[in-house]
């Protein structure tokens, strides 16, 4: 949570100051442009639920797998011995192509390279 200085409206920074050798460190909010300082005495916590976005299939969805070849490859999910494959250049031109596989039996997708 961002907190701003009530005097000059600049953003406050969090620092720790040890009060002494036996004391535990305390948190302070300080302003870098004026002498304003505030001792943090309670914990502030906001729980924000994470909602995941639906991700687009970067390979083009089911239509991308229509005209591809089969090869002998073992599926890591079901151990089937055949998979569809395609090669795509996803990095710079001096890097090797990445090979994408889709299991013929269970439809699991994985990548090599």
The region, left, alpha or beta by phi > 0 then psi within -120 to 50, assigned to residue 6 is: alpha
Annotated binding residue at 5? yes
Residue 26 marked in a binding site: no
Three-class SS state of 87: strand
Residue with tokens 């005209």: 67
**CA angle 21–45–1, rounded 5-degree value:** 90
**103 is annotated as contributing to ligand binding:** yes
Summarize the annotated binding site as residue ranges: 5, 8, 31, 34, 75, 78, 103, 106
Summarize the annotated binding site for Zn(2+) as residue ranges: 5, 8, 31, 34, 75, 78, 103, 106
């Amino acid at each position: 949570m961002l907190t701003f200085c009530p005097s000059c409206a600049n953003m406050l920074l969090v620092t720790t100051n040890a009060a002494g050798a036996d004391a535990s460190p305390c948190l302070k909010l300080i302003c870098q442009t004026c002498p304003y300082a505030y001792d943090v005495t309670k914990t502030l916590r906001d729980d924000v639920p994470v909602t995941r976005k639906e991700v687009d299939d970067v390979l083009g969805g089911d239509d991308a797998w229509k005209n591809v070849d089969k090869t002998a490859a073992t599926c890591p999910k079901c151990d089937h011995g055949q998979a569809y494959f395609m090669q795509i250049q996803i990095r710079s031109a001096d890097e090797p192509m990445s090979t994408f596989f889709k299991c013929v039996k269970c439809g699991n997708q994985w990548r090599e390279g």
